[in-house]
A and B are shown apart, each in its own frame.
Chain A
Amino acid sequence: MKAFFENVRRHFGLAAGIGFSLLAIQIIAIALAPYIAPYSPIDADPLSSLQPPSVAHWFGTDVSGMDILSRVIYATRINLLISVSSVIAAFIVGVPVGLLIGYYRNIFSNLIMRVFDFIQSFPVFVLGMALVSVLGQEVWNVAIVLGVLFIPMFARLIRAEVLSLRERPFISAARCSGASDLSIMFRHILPNALTPVIVQVSISIGMAILLTAGLSFIGAGVRMPTPEWGLMVGNGAQQMILGVWWVALFPGLAIVFSVLCFALLGDFAQAVTDPNAETIS
């Protein structure tokens, strides 16, 4: 444990600091949204429509008079809820599946791989739109759809690791000593295969944020008036021609910083878990 913290300390640079700071800001926004958001995120105030940034509305208001700062703050909850939950779900399903199809190489594992090929052969957006339109435009349905899209990613990653690990001498030794398949998979292979997957988790959260925002931007994500960054950018984009830049800008920046945060954290996780990595700065 001491060595781990030493490793963390060694690799903790400016980039990681920015990543953790952005994560802290998001956690604060999630936890304290009702206390720090100055207005309701879903109540329209038509007489305050499209107000530019001011003391009363730091980020201005949108076409329905909703306070953009409040919506950006509350949207952190929705965007991270969808992204994190979909990635966790994909992790929980994808890792055991990847472990099984990597360890057992038979017709079923081939079949599962072909199913993953099928899922991944579709453009992510097209498949996401199709699934959301079938399931309905609810927050949890968007999370489920993203989860489904990410499962093959985790499963393939862990399978690749398993394929290289299963032929290693320490696995043969475990097998010779009478260890069961389950024991070999979960006690000997999994701990050694998890490192790239953990790094992938952070990167996938960033991807999930972009996908959630993208789906909402094109109208296939969550519904109005749910505060969600992509939806807000989509609504604001229509106003750009009228010179109303603030409606799309601030949620757009929120997406940028949130994705950046998880990308930096992913790099940091990789550096910490890879003994040959340089400090990220």
Chain B
Amino acid sequence: MSARFLGSLAVIMAANSAFSAPAPDPKTTLLVAGPRTPESLDQEYPPTEASHEARRNIYERLLNYAPKKNEENIVVEDFGQIVGGIAEKFEVSLDKTTITFHLRKGVRSYVGNELTADDLMWTFTRGWILKATFHWYMSQVLKIQDFDKSFKKIDGMTVQVTLPQPSPLVDRIWVNNDLGILDSTEVKKHTTNEDPWASKWLANHSASFAPYQVTKIVPGQEVNYEANPNYWRGPAKLSRIIFREVPTSSNRVAALQTGSVDVAEWLLPRELNLLSRSPSVKIWKVFGNYVHRVEMFNGKPPFDDVRIRQAMNYLVPRDEIRKAIYFDTARDTKSPIAEIYPGFTDQYFPYGNDVNKAVALLKEAGLPQGFKTQLGYRSSEPIEEEIALILKTAFARAGVDVELQKLPASTLVDRYTKGEIPMYFFRDMAIVPDAAYVANLWLNSKSLINYSHFKNEDVDQLINLGLTTTDESKRIDGMRRVQEIVMQSAPWVFLMNPGYQLATRANVKGYSWYTPNGNNWFDFYKE
């Protein structure tokens, strides 16, 4: 009996025991294995990969991008065309300072409450007062400072939002996954004097006009989604989604192979490569918006010297990483902007694998012998460890001695937010498909998540221009210049765009991709 068989048997038995609960109707029930359950269902909670997926399914938004099919026949978003969601119509003023939403009639939540302008106003007020996600989008992106001046109920089915200055994102922002509309009638039933916005209740419950409602959540174990029978597009084909937390990716592979689950999320490229040979499994692939990089702390030596940062970029064996780690399913990151977003250009990316150039730059920077540094990565991300080992060997070619720091995700975040670790892996995506928005998140010196402390006044000015001017050609030109400066400044070690891949049983159809990289179960069905 081979070791492979024994190992597989053990994992399969464990997986089977985890998924032994009888499913009510296999045809309309989808069993999903993912690495973790959402930390909170409240959209005001800081977004994570797990919470993005939950939000995608239990919150309904005002606007959407029109669907289109990509070259692999997968439904994706057409970023150039915004269509109504639960706002049937919307009007944007010519100066892009005002947007008026006309709500769709007959939109009902899971419990049957009908959508009205009051739901919007209550959701907006809650978001503004809680000063979290909604407030950030409104104040930082749309520059709203005064709630009463900006949000106005016109009538029972119409709401108007007015900005203090023009914004090219005045409509696009409302597609955002974090800006769903609450069923205020239902949520208000769960407010208390201590918790007037029902934050505690919304952490574990949902109440929106979305295709699904969470009917059970056991953090760390399971989330059950039930289809909303009143959903305005019609009930979902899958009436029940059972999401189970299976932290180890190899266990998710085993569960999918044995048919214990229908969908296995967030598998490693090596595992996806293995599964792709199985006729009972389908791998869905999209070149999404993830940018995986190693951020260098630009605020302290040695990485305050642009030559050192450039040298690090010249030492990355990208071809080898792409082949060995990603099995050629990733693409090189050649810009801080995701390659699928308007405004992206890779023409300023100069970094080949050139040790001599790196050594020359280090010499020029006064470190001809190299230096010692640290590289942090998350203990929950085996792929980061694999890349870290390759980078350690690659950097050593120029005398850069890297000590690897495998840390729990929370510890790593804590250390890089405090600037306590010189290099760390960072994988993120900006969910608004706009170059200025992306640059503002990561490269504006005033951004709270510019953890690398990159600072360039020209970049700051161009980002501000990009967020305020409505002249699209000016915005595109500005963002091209930002990419040029950033590539020259090399604030990060640019690695890969890993894309998004999902493994399902072959009878699961309807996969679609949206910018938050969370699965939209409404689109799925079983044959």
Contact = CB atoms under 8 A, between A and B. Distances in A.
B406 interface: yes
Nearest to A243: B4
B317 A46 contact: yes
B323 A44 contact: no
Interface stretch (A103-111, A139-147, A200-208, A217-225): A217-225
Given A64-B390, A241-B250, 16 more contacts: A46-B320, A46-B390, A49-B324, A66-B389, A223-B405, A223-B406, A224-B389, A225-B389, A225-B392, A225-B404, A238-B250, A240-B4, A241-B7, A242-B253, A242-B270, A243-B4
Chain A interface size band reads 20 to 34
Contacts of B95: none
A241 B389 contact: no
B385 interface: yes
B254 A241 contact: yes
A88 interface: no
Which 10 pairs between the two chains have the least Cβ-Cβ distance? Answer: A240-B7, A46-B324, A245-B3, A241-B250, A64-B389, A46-B320, A44-B393, A243-B4, A44-B389, A49-B324
Contacts of B413: none
B235 interface: no
A3 interface: no
Interface string B39-82: 00000000000000000000000000000000000000000000
Nearest to A43: B393
A47 B393 contact: no
Nearest to A137: B406
B382 A238 contact: yes
Given A223-B404, A241-B250, A46 B3 contact: no
Interface string B188-226: 000000000000000000000000000000000000000
24 contacts: A44-B390, A45-B393, A46-B317, A46-B321, A46-B323, A46-B390, A47-B324, A50-B270, A63-B270, A137-B406, A219-B406, A223-B403, A224-B385, A225-B389, A225-B392, A238-B250, A240-B4, A241-B8, A241-B250, A241-B253, A241-B254, A242-B270, A242-B271, A245-B7
Contacts of A30: none
Nearest to B251: A241
Contacts of A241: 7-8, 11, 250-251, 253-254, 271
A241 B12 CA distance: 9
Contacts of B20: none
B320 A47 contact: yes
A65 interface: yes
Contacts of B11: 240-241
Contacts of B393: 42-45
Name the prevailing secondary structure of the B interface residues: helix
B146 interface: no
A45 B323 CA distance: 12
A249 interface: yes
Interface in B384-438: 385-386, 388-390, 392-393, 396, 403-406
A155 B345 CA distance: 69
A242 B390 contact: no
From A64, A238, A239, residue with most partner B Cβ within 10 Å: A64
Nearest to B5: A243
Interface string B430-466: 0000000000000000000000000000000000000
A64 B383 CA distance: 10
Interface of A: 42-47, 49-50, 63-66, 137, 219, 223-225, 237-243, 245, 249
Contact of A249 (B3, B250, B404): B3
Given A223-B406, A240-B250, A245 B4 contact: yes
Given A223-B404, A242-B274, A44 B392 contact: yes
A116 B245 CA distance: 40
Nearest to A66: B389
B476 interface: no
B473 interface: no
Contacts of B2: 245
Contacts of A242: 250, 253, 270-271, 274
A113 to B, nearest CB: 36
B379 interface: yes
A43 B248 CA distance: 27
B92 interface: no
B309 to A, nearest CB: 22
A225 B375 CA distance: 13
Contacts of A64: 386, 389-390
Contacts of B396: 43
Contacts of B382: 238
A134 B98 CA distance: 55
B4 A224 contact: no
B325 interface: yes
Contacts of B317: 46
Contacts of B4: 240, 243, 245
B7 A63 contact: no
Nearest to A40: B393
Contacts of A240: 3-4, 7-8, 11, 250
Contacts of B323: 46-47
Contacts of A45: 393
Nearest to B3: A245
A238 B386 CA distance: 13
Nearest to B8: A241
A242 B270 CA distance: 8
A238 B382 CA distance: 9
Nearest to A45: B393
Contact of B324 (A65, A225, A238, A249): A65
Most buried by B among A42, A49, A50: A49
Contact of B325 (A46, A224, A238, A243): A46
A142 to B, nearest CB: 14
Q: Among the interface residues B249, B253, B320, B388, which one has the most CB atoms of the partner chain A within 10 A?
A: B320
A49 to B, nearest CB: 5
A126 B377 CA distance: 23
A223 B250 CA distance: 22
Contacts of A44: 389-390, 392-393
A243 to B, nearest CB: 4
A88 B291 CA distance: 50
Interface string B360-395: 000000000000000000010010011011101100
A96 B324 CA distance: 54
A240 B7 CA distance: 6
A225 B392 CA distance: 9
A137 B324 CA distance: 28
Contacts of A237: 7
A137 B3 CA distance: 31
A225 B270 CA distance: 20
Contacts of B388: 224
Contacts of B253: 241-242
A168 to B, nearest CB: 54
B381 to A, nearest CB: 12
A65 B11 CA distance: 25
Nearest to A240: B7
Nearest to B405: A223
A31 to B, nearest CB: 25
A243 B4 CA distance: 5
A184 B513 CA distance: 81
Contacts of B7: 237, 240-241, 245
